[in-house]
Amino acid sequence: MKYFWVFTVLTIIWVVGYGGARAEVSTGMATTQSVDEDSIEDGDVLCFSDGKIGKCSGEYRVDMYGVFSESPAMALADSGLERGKLMLNSGRVGVKVSAENGAVKKGDFVTSSKQAGIAEKATKSGNVLGVALEDYNGENIGKIAVQVDIRQAIISTSARDNLLETLKMGLLAPSLTPLASLRYILAILVVVITFVLGFMYFGKVARTGVEAMGRNPLASRIIAMGVVFNLSLTVAIMGGGLLVGYVILII
């Protein structure tokens, strides 16, 4: 019985001590980058702008670069780099977060915010930092684990909002990475070409149907059914174009 209690106490100490310390350690490979701010703290979201790295200030920043971490699991440190700080741009890391834009739930996308270096819940499509691995709904600035994967994300739930956000982000393509720019350009081209061809095809079929009904009024019902069928086919083709464009955005 005595040994049982000793084992139990040692187990609790290991879980609280080692397990808690481990939760603070990031995963992924950190690299040393020259940061142009002195007030950088563990968990700050950083952006690369005008050739300098500093705290992100502004929502859905397309120049998000990574997160400063004081305790990465692995690091390629460069001790000779002036003003060097360890940064991660992929993997699990503790990130400073605010609930100003709504409570953060596990699985939510998080992005940069108006508060310098602080992340917040992403509520619309745009550039995101990654996915929250913990809930947060505090009044002050807190820190949660985030699976960092900086990319564009489609978040809006309505088709109208998705379309508007896609067009808006497409206009930002020159400021995105080459791969992200290519995805948006291809998606816009696919959607535009599909709609143009669909309207051209339907216009041709409708005109031909009207002419046919004029020449043969007795077969007008059959001709009208053919026009309706072609209209349905056109709508299906347009929907297919939208689906292809959406797939291009999310791959």
In sequence order, the 6+-apart residues with CB closer than 8 A to the CB of 150 are: 64, 65, 66, 89, 90, 127, 128, 129, 130
If asked whether residues 199 and 233 sit together in one domain, one would say yes
In a domain, 1, yes or no: no
If asked whether residues 79 and 135 sit together in one domain, one would say yes
- pLDDT tens by residue, 128-154: 999 999 999 988 999 999 999 998 887
Q: What is the count of structural domains for the chain?
A: 2
Tell me the CATH number at 82: 2.40.300.10
Q: What end-to-end distance do the CA atoms of the chain give, in Å?
A: 58
If asked whether residues 149 and 35 sit together in one domain, one would say yes
DSSP state letter for 117: T
| Of 137, 56, 134, nearest in space to 89 by CA | 56
Beta bridge partners of 128: 151
Place of tokens 């059914």: 225
Please indicate whether residue 114 or residue 165 has the higher confidence score (pLDDT).
114
If asked whether residues 61 and 137 sit together in one domain, one would say yes
Beta bridge partners of 231: none
The residue among 120, 155, 190 that closes a domain is 155
In the chain, % of residues over pLDDT 90: 27
Please indicate whether residue 160 or residue 201 has the higher confidence score (pLDDT).
201
pLDDT band at 25 (very low <50, low <70, confident <90, very high): low
If asked whether residues 109 and 36 sit together in one domain, one would say yes
| Of 79, 65, 69, nearest in space to 40 by CA | 69
Q: Which residue segment(s) compose the domain that 213 sits in?
A: 178-250
Residue 26 and residue 91 in contact, taking contact as beta carbons nearer than 8 Å: yes
Beta bridge partners of 130: 110, 148
In a domain, 233, yes or no: yes
If asked whether residues 105 and 194 sit together in one domain, one would say no
Is the confidence at residue 17, as pLDDT, over 60?
no
- pLDDT tens by residue, 60-115: 898 899 999 888 878 787 777 888 888 888 889 999 999 999 999 999 999 999 99
Residue 75 and residue 88 in contact, taking contact as beta carbons nearer than 8 Å: no
